[in-house]
Structure 1
Amino acid sequence: MTANATELTNYIEFVEDGKRLRGNIASISYDIDIAGEPYKSENPKAPVYRLFAKSPRGKRIEIGGIWKKQNQNGGDYYALTVNTGYGKLNANLGRYPGQDAENLMAVIPWD
């Protein structure tokens, strides 16, 4: 079962086989729709995706990135950093609860 993404909050959805992504991050203070695109770099510490949102006047602005990391067991996972306008949000991405779609990830904050 996959919910309509417009009904979800705090998610990242990889679309077009990872050629872009979309998502939403929300709290009591902010509600940000996110777009993302792959980022290629020779720097191993560079993000693999750049994240963008719209300013209050509708301008596209860069707000953060997603990094591919490895856990202690050698498994891959994604970590996200976003400037919310109220501070920096750091989060990991994990399977969205109650969903079957492998391209739909929950934003799991950590600070």
Structure 2
Amino acid sequence: MSNLVNFIQIDETTNTIAGNIATLTFDIDIIGEAFTSDNPKAPVFRLFAMTPRNRRIEVGGIWKKQNRQDQDYYSLSVNTGHGRINANLGRYPGQDDDTLMAVIPWD
């Protein structure tokens, strides 16, 4: 997986996330953990990254939503330090692993 960019992989056994978000100006490895809240608008995962001094900071979250056909999907919001990325998660092209999702940015 070291060659993949712009992906999120959810490990349902441990409820953790690993991933990467990259552009020409940044390349961030993301980790995440499940988040439980009574607030229906709260994310289902909190996302973290490491600072240049190797400190873990919260950078965003992943929300579980439903489309018009009542199918579940995930969206994310991440503060990259160069702005905010909002994206949906979808099937990663050319991969057979259902836990591997592509980060598909939207405005």
Query: How many residue pairs were aligned?
Result: 107
68, 81, 105: which is aligned to 1:72? 68
Asked whether 1:84 is paired with 2:80, we answer yes
For 1:89, give the aligned amino acid.
I
For 1:92 and 1:19, the matched residues in 2 are separated by 19
Task: Identify unmatched segments of 5+ residues in structure 1.
Answer: none
Asked whether 1:44 is paired with 2:44, we answer no
Deviates more, 1:12-21 or 1:35-44: 12-21
6, 21, 32: which is aligned to 2:17? 21
Partner of residue 30, structure 2: 34
Offset of residue 19 of structure 1:
1.2
For 1:99, give the aligned amino acid.
Q
Task: Identify unmatched segments of 5+ residues in structure 2.
Answer: none
Once the two structures are aligned, what percentage of the paired residues are identical?
Answer: 62
Offset of residue 14 of structure 1:
1.0
Offset of residue 17 of structure 1:
2.5
For 1:54 and 1:62, the matched residues in 2 are separated by 9
Q: State the superposition RMSD in angstroms.
A: 0.9
TM-score (norm. length: structure 1): 0.94
TM-score (norm. length: structure 2): 0.97
